[in-house]
Chains A and B, each alone.
Chain A
Amino acid sequence: MMEANNKMSLLQINSLKKVYRFGHRALKKISFEINEGEIFVLLGPNGAGKTTTIKSLLGIVNSGGEIFFKGSLLNNKIILENFSFLPEEKNLYENMTVGSLIKEIVSYNKNFDLIKIRDYLNRFDIQNNKTIKKLSNGNKTILFLSIVLSKNAELYILDEPMANLDPLTTKFFLNEFRNFSYEGKSILYSTHILSHAEKISDRIAILREGKIVVCDNIDNLKTLYKAYVYNGDLPDYVSKISVTDTDFLYIIKEEMNEQYLKDFPNMIEEKLGFEDIFEIIAGGNLKNV
């Protein structure tokens, strides 16, 4: 269970699969691992299986495969005691006041830290006596996020946490997530926003059509591939993105680099951005050369 970087494995997911009604295979035996204190980001286009992965981990949907938490088979008790979850749909009880909602939460689950919730809400000036339906969408997200982060959990599972948040608030929470990881808490973060993934991830997994196509850290991915602009055609088996009508960005695996430069000396090396890598991988255009 000990990783190369000396971090203990917190969550081990083996061959997770999910088939919805009418035979739609949302997850096709995906496996990955989240370590203690790690921020693990799930990326992928819409419908790739990010939310289904999260719901399967939490037992919200039934799925096949095995999930281990610190070596023990995951069950509902472990989930309730050790996980804290922010769903994609950040819906709370609209008719309750902020204060009464918090009171109810704390009365049912002692894992929530009342002082911490209040600290977050004071910071963003969200008052206890306000009815939730009167809060802006951004403040509803902040309230939900504050509740989730105030739970004393070991794994925080956040599905699109920054929806509706302004840049300053986003920055605050991104820093907060980093602080959590310094404290040894792990975060599974699902997002569409690549800059957030680049900023805070320790590792990412890119999902496509229910499969993990890549699971690595972003720096490794950047060194794994080289990019070249070329105004002609390379063989079909080279990954290609259109840049202009005539120019193409070709992504080539680092180890094949020399060979291609010899064959196509007019190629101009381009600095490869994470967005380019994501476009190739998530778009299904990554070819194994």
Chain B
Amino acid sequence: MFKKEIKDLTIKFLVVLIILTGLFIFIFASKDSIIESTRALSNTTIPLLGNGEQYEILAQKLEDFNFYVQSQWYAKNSGQFIPFISIIFAFSIFALETDKKTFYFLLNIIDRKKIFFIKTFSVFFMIFLLMLIIFFMPLIFAFNNEFNILLSIRYLISFLIGAFLWGSISIFFSIFFNDSLKSFFSSIIALTLTTIIGIMPLFNFFNTFLYVLNPFGSSFWLFTFLYLILGVTVLLFSRRYFLNKDL
């Protein structure tokens, strides 16, 4: 059934990949104009946003390809999609089978433990593949630049961990609800609520965007560890719930 699952996820994979590729091309094709427009702001003073000098410094930094990739591609654009990509891949993986009542057919062939393993593995295989593609995409434009991808390796870690956490949460909702729509909206609501709560400094941990978009903070390794533990716990709980669920 692994082949079937991968085939089912391929359409989502291609749609997400096309959107990200479009975004990627746009960001890198408009590098010069982004730098120019940032520099143009140095002649103006915008209240609250700071004086022109800062824009000049920013424009100079953006000329460095490593900085440009980190700020414009990883942090500002692709990084925002990470939790959503996980939710899109995971929300229907179990719920659709319950919805369409195809679990009964599956249970004739393999047991619940294997079903859980195959489905979970397929989802994370596709999600992680996309994370790798997102991470390595800038190499396409790197041939003329002094680009050191190792400087950005923390982004790869934060993408993988963030994607794993939201994949696990969405898998749980997919098992808990017998309806794909409920599973999707529950995941989105959970993401929204945790993000809002996480705006308060004391509850930063809940805001996974802060972690994914800025992996250079002092709590990076602690949060990496905690998110990993949380993801594994949710996944183990989901497995237990699935093995005992009335289908």
Contacts and interface: CB of A to CB of B under 8 A. Distances in A.
Given A62-B244, A104-B3, A151 B108 contact: yes
A91 B105 contact: yes
Interface stretch (B23-31, B70-78, B96-104, B174-182): B96-104
A61 B247 contact: yes
Contact of B4 (A58, A76, A89, A93): A93
B111 interface: yes
A274 B35 CA distance: 87
Given A62-B246, A104-B4, A89 B104 contact: yes
B18 interface: no
A148 B108 contact: yes
A92 B105 contact: yes
Interface stretch (A79-87, A174-182, A185-193, A219-227): A79-87
A108 interface: yes
Interface string B71-114: 00000000000000000000000000000111111011111101
B112 A85 contact: no
Interface in B232-247: 244, 246-247
Given A60-B246, A61-B246, A89 B109 contact: no
A256 interface: no
A194 interface: no
B197 interface: no
A248 interface: no
A87 B4 contact: no
A109 interface: yes
B124 to A, nearest CB: 20
B105 A144 contact: yes
Contacts of B108: 84-85, 109, 147-148, 151
A91 B110 contact: no
A120 to B, nearest CB: 16
Nearest to B112: A76
A96 interface: yes
Given A91-B100, A93-B4, A104-B1, A58 B109 contact: no
A105 interface: yes
B12 to A, nearest CB: 14
A91 B101 contact: yes
A196 B1 CA distance: 35
B101 A87 contact: yes
Interface in B202-247: 244, 246-247
B104 A105 contact: no
A153 to B, nearest CB: 9
B105 A87 contact: yes
B107 A60 contact: yes
B83 to A, nearest CB: 28
A91 B102 contact: yes
A185 B104 CA distance: 21
A232 to B, nearest CB: 51
A125 to B, nearest CB: 22
**Ranked 4 nearest A-B pairs via Cβ:** A87-B104, A89-B101, A61-B246, A109-B109
19 contacts: A55-B246, A60-B246, A61-B246, A62-B246, A76-B112, A80-B110, A80-B111, A84-B108, A85-B108, A87-B104, A91-B102, A92-B102, A92-B105, A95-B8, A96-B4, A100-B4, A104-B3, A104-B4, A105-B109
